[in-house]
Homo-oligomer: A and B are copies of this chain.
């Protein structure tokens, strides 16, 4: 087999009290990529959408990830990436991670799954470096592993899958721009020890809640006393979205990645839909365009679809 179609999913990183360490994959939206092994050396990128992303592989997120992988696959000369972005760049739900993760999972499939998931994360991080200047795995890990993933340590990389009970996610993407660089810069370099203690109590509670399948504990632990109070200022309507979502039955939630998307977790689909309605009303009132997604946690990671 020389060609494969892959659907890498959107992901939520910086899950509330799990800033920089916890993420999860969504069932929707997904990008659509095809990876084809060729005799032509190097990586060729064919864009099938309107985003005009760079076709120089070193400047393209998928391309950079693929080049890193090709360095360790001397038996492969090159490949073509057919790229159709569905996850809007800049939305805060792991668009660049999907680009990077999708193509390396695709090539690995064509190679008979020669590499481990940890290797694929390592390759895909080269794509994140092109996107944001920083090698991080917050979105890549859940995109590749599926489900909820803990990045206990980034160097050396230590990814831990956290089994979670069924959860529905509602995501709203207000059509404003929050630059990752701005969202980083606004954070203080030092935090109060007493706040840090609250935060690690909550992340411990959240991980325990997932693994014990205790929805109430998940809800009580979805609290961020360090990052959210600072970053939420960049997202108009944030506080009202959060309040109304919880009043509508959401377990809790917060900023997705570095924003501007906001996510909420619910126990069932009906609640997740009611939450979407609340979110929409807030942004209609403020007068900001938005997209909402009602979906569930994707336990599989990148979906592989064989091409003809």
Q: Which residues of chain A have a CB within 8 Å of any CB of chain B?
A: 17-22, 150-153, 158, 160, 162, 187-194, 196-208, 211-212, 217, 220-221, 226
Contacts and interface: CB of A to CB of B under 8 A. Distances in A.
Nearest to A193: B191
Contacts of A205: 150, 152-153, 158, 160
B187 A190 contact: no
B17 A217 contact: no
Contacts of A203: 200, 203-204
| A-B pairs, 4 with minimum CB distance | A152-B205, A196-B196, A211-B211, A190-B190
Contacts of A188: 193
A188 to B, nearest CB: 7
Contacts of A221: 152
B158 A197 contact: no
Contact of A150 (B17, B162, B187, B208): B208
Nearest to A214: B160
A204 B19 CA distance: 12
Contact of A197 (B20, B192, B193): B20
